Amino acid sequence: MLLPKFEFHEPKTVDEACQMMAEYGASAMVLAGGTDLLVNMKKKLLSPQHLIAISRIEELKKVDSSPFGLKIGACLSVSDTASSDAIGKKWGALSAGAKALGSPQIRNLATIGGNLGTASSAADLPPSLMAYGARVVLKSSARERTLPLEEFFTGSKRTTLADDEMIYEIQIDEPAPYSGAGYESLGVRSCQDIKIVNVASFITLDGPGGIIKSARIVMGCVGPTHLRAHSAEKILVGEKPGEAIFARAGELAMQDATPRGAAFSRASAGYKKDMVGVLTVRTLGTAWKEATGERN
Amino acid sequence: MKKIITLDINHEHYEVAVEPNQTLLDTLRYQLGLTGTKKGCEVGDCGACTVIMDGVTVNSCLVLAMQAEGRQITTIEGLETKEGMHPLQTAFVEKGAIQCGFCTSGMILSARVLLDKNPEPTEEGIRRGIAGNLCRCTGYQKIVEAVQSAADGMKEGHQ
Amino acid sequence: MSQYDVIGTRAPRVDAPAKATGRAIFVDDMSMPGMLYGALLQSPYAHALIRGIDVSAALKLPGVKAVVTHKEAGLVKYGVSPARYDETIFCYDKVRQVGDNIAAVAAVDMATAVEAASLIKVDYEELPAVFTIEEALADGAPLVHDDYKRNISAEVHQEFGDVEAALKECDLIKTTSLKSKRQDCAFIEPQGCIATYDLSGNLTLYSSTQTTHYVQRSLAMALGAPVGKVRVVKPYVGGGFGSKASASHLEMAACLLAMQTGKPVKMIFDREQVFLHGRARHQFVHTMTTGVKKDGTIMALKHEAWLNGGAYSSFGIATVYYAGSLLGGPYKLPNMKYDGYRIATNLPACGAQRGHGGVIARSCWEQQLDMIAEELGMDPLELRLKNIMTAGDVTCNDLDMSSLGMKECIEVVRDASDWKNKKGKLPQGKGIGMACGFFVSGAGFPIYRSETFHCTVTIKVTEDGGTAIVSTASAEIGQGSDTTFAMIAAEGMGIPLGMVRIESGDTDFGVDLGAYSSRQTLMTGQATKQAAENVKMQVLDALSKELHVPVEDMDIKKGYIVFKKDKPDLSALKTRYIKEHREWTDNPSLDDELSFREASRIAFFTKGTIVGTGMYKPPELGGKFKGAAVGTSPAYGCSAQIAEVSVDEQTGRITIEKMTDAHDCGQAINRTSVEAQMHGSMAMGLGEALFEEVKFDDKGRLLNGDLAEYKMPTALDMPPMEALIVESHEPNGPYGAKEVGEGNIMPTIAAVLNAVHDAIGVRIHELPLNPERVYLAIKEYREKNAKQ
């Protein structure tokens, strides 16, 4: 399996990368970890004329934590995401997603930005990032814009990214007191698996033993892109957390899910729906534990 | 167009002329004769082409040769020293962890990084560490035992 | 203390250091001066007429050295079973599967070859295609081959005893079925080869194959080359498991291109091509009816099997026979009826895979026996023990259990797993299950009718007597056969393993049918033992003349001559050796023992190079009925396994907690290697039980032709496995040894099926047990129970 021909560029800075993007436009693609892009090129699904490799730009590998939250460079590897103390301490569901992705070798190459840019609804990082309310910062030579991750995805394998734009940074706010999150994915194998369903849940309580102030539930593999389980979230707000209300949220999440019953997909639509219910309950359980745990 | 780059492999410098679309795997195997790195799937699924790059394992089929310039690369050929085989290699031989041998290079390199990071891994930890290296012959049982045995031996060696 | 010095030890494998250091050479590691690269043009359609092929654009591409189609290749039919030669090197009239081969190109590099292949224009006329057994059998269905009426490529009808009469006498009659999915061998090394052709007309193929002999024969036949001019050499092979057991189109095309260009030509499959041309496990659908007495005595089995065979016959006739014959044991079964059908479809062809033909049949029956035990209120393990065969028993289909440690295997796993305290006593969601199985220790007959020896082995002692070189055409493909034969040779000559060097996998070394049907340890082992004993006799014979000691008063052990009576004066001999070798650095010491090395040097003075030869073919085996050749073997290996599982009932996900396994290999030549085969078998069985399935779309195109979507187990999916060796001493095997490579996969799937039932009360009759299937089965079971 040979790669199609292309020109290789390795800019030293973000600005330089942006200039190249501006110059080559649609004929160029950004090469970060390459674990999706190079595979798709080998399979002749993509054949960009220019590859702009950004994985060596140090600025893109930062993890800046402040009292307000985190700024993560787009090229932070998935394994560094998984092992980062700063991330693991307060954003455990993101660590869990990173640990669930691919294999050790893939995690060492793959980047957080790449996992978002690919815009696969089976991807492991978007659910927790969306549940945490993360934003992406996009850069081009002309402008920089910041938007909620939720608005970044526009469809299956589609994003708002313009031809000359690249993902620069991911921002996550410091979680409010008494909040917690959970991530669960279901695959056939224990690792190296493209998921059948994945779910992340995030809840904030109004105090120890209090009611749920806000909730976000994000589901993967059950729509063209990651979906919010809005009706499940709604029913949780104002309620005391507990098994019964979580079960009800699970049922509503199943209704919020819109899996396609494609004949050749990894699982049937019915099974995916049912599993959304199971994983929603489980992730809410994890989130509740964290919200009432020692972390606050 | 070909470009001459310098690769740092097993602490030796190699000047090679490579095409942009040439992978590190093909460069190692077909240009430098380092055929211990194997080609099993070419898309990052099997782990047979695993090499260590700047201290972490990567599938060399998913790294462009040009991306590898200036990085420290270790292949299976770099594990032996003048004293002989690396303790992991010895353990794989003695514990019967090798059958067809096609996954072995990658498997040993994954185990090496695992032990670098965690010299006292649990069985679960070993399985996680080699989960990106598929083996069809062994069911992984004797591989896990070999890594455990190498870890024990290396620990004693340090004391 | 063992009576053996080398056999039965845990000697490290002879090939392990080379493999641990990356030195071992596999075919894609080789290159040759002036080597060209080949690429295949393959059909995108599952079924289509070929109206025309235009290679002109490909030929014009700079760097292209040859393009070959059926015009150059000819139309000689070949295949695996002579009764079903249904392939040509390239398709000429129509294509029958996606990936069918149309043409091949040789060029200066791989990129040029691939590009040139894409420039070949083929005018196809698409035909309606059949993909399932039902579609293929439907009235008016298009025929894959005109010769196979109703698309039946092979059928078997056998009855031993009187099944209907026996069923009338039964207290309980049970009918169940099991449907499996196509599995892939999924070895990590894709097939590849390099062909060379010299000016004297010698064709040499270096290939990743399990069977140099059959490849040699097929190449000679299909290419019209004299068989004596064809040599096949096997470098190290990265796993085979059945898929590399017959000649492939890749090998044919590479040879043809080498003959056309006079240059070495390398061709390597990519992973998708491995799936398209792997010819691995068929899809099986079995329905079985078993009758038993109240006390659990098995009386009769009525069995029907349907196999989806794909586009060509390959090993398929043997497959459909094995699917029936391998139920003859290991339980006493007086009456057995079998009707098997192999159906041709427009999917890639299927062939042989570890446990050839028998795995799913065994799984179906062993699950059914568990259900019968449950209805009789018996422990399923006791039901099996009650019906178990022992050494000397002969099955109703004439399989002679010349040794059989089946009972011991069951007892060993029962005790090691603490079965009695676990069966039926584990909490909901956790379960334990067991099953048994057996397999041939080598096919009793070659694939083609012949009086040939199945293997010949030569052992040559070097001039100084320091090294014995074993030459065999047998195939080391990862299973450890080189080490096995080196150990047998060392034991047979009475020398340490370190004095033996083995060269294998080259048709120039003699005849060996290769690594399939778990034949090598027994058969090549016998030939090796004979050759080794022949060397020993020649050395002792020469020594006898020198020392005037009768041969029968001497032996060789651990590299030294043993004098059973008075030790003669050896000083003259020892001095002679030293005189001959005075400039050498590693001469034997001048102690009072005479080494093998000194003795064989002395023998060299009178006999020249000492060459010992050995050969083996099975003795006359039982069974005169049609198809008796498939299943008869000089010996049978057997195993019992216990699986412990837990089931996540909310998701349907199964975790295998532990496997306990006992296998009767007759006599372990290398204990580590026997365990390693047991582990590998279980892993492949667990993959098939839980995950693996090659999928196609409605056009017959692969949906999961990669190792991401085709899910073989990773290290995290595999449980700890305990491998326990049982040794029954097989009278027909070398030092009592018989197979372990395939028999041990037989019980795995059924042990899991039975453990899952123990965990959640659900019986599942379709594989694989992926989360969705298990979840739906639980759901259905609960809904059914709720209604009742």
What pLDDT is attached to residue C579? Answer: 86
Q: What are the C-alpha distances in Å from C618 to residues B148, C526, C629?
A: 43, 10, 12
C160 vs B11: CA distance, rounded Å: 69
State yes or no: pLDDT of C591 exceeds 80.
no
- Residue C236 near residue C26 (C-beta atoms within 8 A): yes
Structure tokens at B82: 């003048």
What are the chain C neighbours of A196 within 8 Å (beta carbons)? 771-772
Class of domain C31-127+188-239+244-276: alpha beta
Peptide bond into C771 cis (omega under 30): no
The CATH number covering residue B106 comes to 1.10.150.120
B98 lies in a domain? Answer: yes
> Would you list the domain boundaries of chain C?
16-22+453-616, 31-127+188-239+244-276, 283-445+623-787
Q: In what side-by-side order are the strands of the sheet with B12-18? A: B12-18, B3-9, B72-74, B50-53, B56-59
DSSP A111: B
Domain that holds residue B93: 87-155
The helix-helix angle for A269-292 and A243-256 (nearest 10°) equals: 140
Residue reference for tokens 């409010």: A176
3-class secondary structure, C625: coil
Contact yes or no for C683 and B139 at CB 8 A: yes
What pLDDT is attached to residue C691? Answer: 96
Contact yes or no for C716 and A186 at CB 8 A: no
Of C369, C322, C398, C412, residue with least CA distance to C728 = C412
Contact yes or no for B128 and A191 at CB 8 A: yes
**Same domain, yes or no: B59 and B21:** yes
- ipTM summary value: 0.98
Q: What radius of gyration, in Å, describes the C-alpha atoms of chain C?
A: 28
Written as one letter, the residue type at C267 is M
Q: What percent of chain C has pLDDT over 90?
A: 94
- Convert the pLDDT of each residue in C488-514 to its tens digit: 999 999 999 999 999 999 999 999 999
**Same domain, yes or no: B59 and B117:** no
The four Cα atoms A122, A123, A128, A131 give a dihedral, to 10 degrees, of -60
B81 lies in a domain? Answer: no
Residue reference for tokens 């199971």: A278
- Convert the pLDDT of each residue in B118-151 to its tens digit: 999 999 999 999 999 999 999 999 999 999 999 9
A145 vs A136: CA distance, rounded Å: 8
Chain B interface, mutation test: which of C188, C244, C677, C681, most B Cβ atoms within 10 Å? C188
Contact yes or no for B43 and A43 at CB 8 A: yes
State yes or no: pLDDT of A296 exceeds 60.
no
A6 contact B CB<8A: yes
What pLDDT is attached to residue C530? Answer: 98
User: Which residue among B16, B46, B75 closes a domain?
Assistant: B75
- Residue C158 near residue C292 (C-beta atoms within 8 A): no
What pLDDT is attached to residue C607? Answer: 95
The A residues from 234 to 263 touching C (CB cutoff 8 Å) are 263
Of A65-69, A109-113, C393-397, C538-542, the poorest mean pLDDT is in: A65-69
User: Which residue among B52, B75, B98 closes a domain?
Assistant: B75
B82 lies in a domain? Answer: no
Please give, rounded to a whole number of angstroms, the shortest distance from the CA of C475 to a CA of chain A: 29
Strands A7-9 and A50-53: parallel
Domains C16-22+453-616 and C283-445+623-787 share a fold: yes
What are the chain C neighbours of A191 within 8 Å (beta carbons)? 714, 716-717
State yes or no: pLDDT of A295 exceeds 60.
no
The number of distinct structural domains making up chain B is 2
Report the residue count for chain C.
788
Peptide bond into C330 cis (omega under 30): yes
B66 lies in a domain? Answer: yes
Q: pTM for this structure? A: 0.97
B80 lies in a domain? Answer: no
DSSP C438: E
Least CA distance to B106: which residue of chain A? A105
For C16-22+453-616, CATH number out of 3.30.365.10, 3.90.950.10, 3.30.565.60, 3.40.50.1000 equals 3.30.365.10
B121 lies in a domain? Answer: yes
- Convert the pLDDT of each residue in C686-724 to its tens digit: 999 999 999 999 999 999 999 999 999 999 999 999 999
- Convert the pLDDT of each residue in A248-266 to its tens digit: 999 999 999 999 866 567 8
Structure tokens at C243: 């898929």
SS (H, E, C) chain B: CCEEEEEEECCEEEEEEECCCCEHHHHHHHHCCCCCCCCCCCCCCCCCCEEEECCEEEEHHHCEHHHHCCCEEECHHHCCECCECCHHHHHHHHCCCCCCCCCHHHHHHHHHHHHHHCCCCCHHHHHHHCCCCCCCCCCCHHHHHHHHHHHHHHHHHHC
Contact yes or no for A192 and C708 at CB 8 A: yes
Structure tokens at A8: 């290789």
- Residue C290 near residue C595 (C-beta atoms within 8 A): no
Q: What is the mean pLDDT of residues B38-52?
A: 98
Contact yes or no for B50 and A105 at CB 8 A: yes
State yes or no: pLDDT of A294 exceeds 60.
no
State yes or no: pLDDT of C736 exceeds 80.
yes
C144 vs C86: CA distance, rounded Å: 11
State yes or no: pLDDT of C49 exceeds 70.
yes
Strands A28-31 and A50-53: parallel
Residues of C contacting chain A (CB within 8 angstroms): 110-111, 114, 270, 650-651, 653, 690-691, 695, 697-698, 703, 708-709, 711, 713-714, 716-717, 770-772, 775-776
Indicate the residue of C236, C478, C706 with minimum beta-carbon distance to B137: C478
Least CA distance to B52: which residue of chain A? A105
Higher per-residue pLDDT: C571 or C120: C120
Contact yes or no for B131 and A192 at CB 8 A: yes
How big is the A-C interface in CB pairs under 8 Å? 47
The CATH number covering residue B10 comes to 3.10.20.30
What pLDDT is attached to residue B158? Answer: 61
Contact yes or no for A103 and B66 at CB 8 A: no
User: Which residue among B75, B105, B130 closes a domain?
Assistant: B75
Higher per-residue pLDDT: B41 or C1: B41
Q: What are the C-alpha distances in Å from B19 to residues A5, A49, B8?
A: 9, 14, 18
Q: What is the mean pLDDT of residues A202-228?
A: 95
- Give residues with Cβ within 8 angstroms of C484, minimum separation 6: C520, C521, C525, C669, C670, C673
| Topology classification of domain C283-445+623-787 | Aldehyde Oxidoreductase; domain 4 (3.30.365)
B146 vs B123: CA distance, rounded Å: 11
What pLDDT is attached to residue C787? Answer: 80
3-class secondary structure, C698: coil
Average pLDDT of every residue of chain C: 96
For C309-338, letters b (16+ CB in 10 Å) and e give bbbbbbbbbbbbbbbbbbbbbbbbbbbbbb
**Same domain, yes or no: B14 and B63:** yes
Q: Where are the beta strands (DSSP E) in C262-348?
A: 265-268, 283-292, 298-310, 335-344
Contact yes or no for A39 and B62 at CB 8 A: yes
**Same domain, yes or no: B115 and B64:** no
Q: Which of the four pLDDT bands, split at 50, 70 and 90, describes residue A212? A: very high
Q: What percent of chain B has pLDDT over 70?
A: 98
B31 lies in a domain? Answer: yes
Q: What is the mean pLDDT of residues C122-130?
A: 98
Q: What is the mean pLDDT of residues C133-156?
A: 97
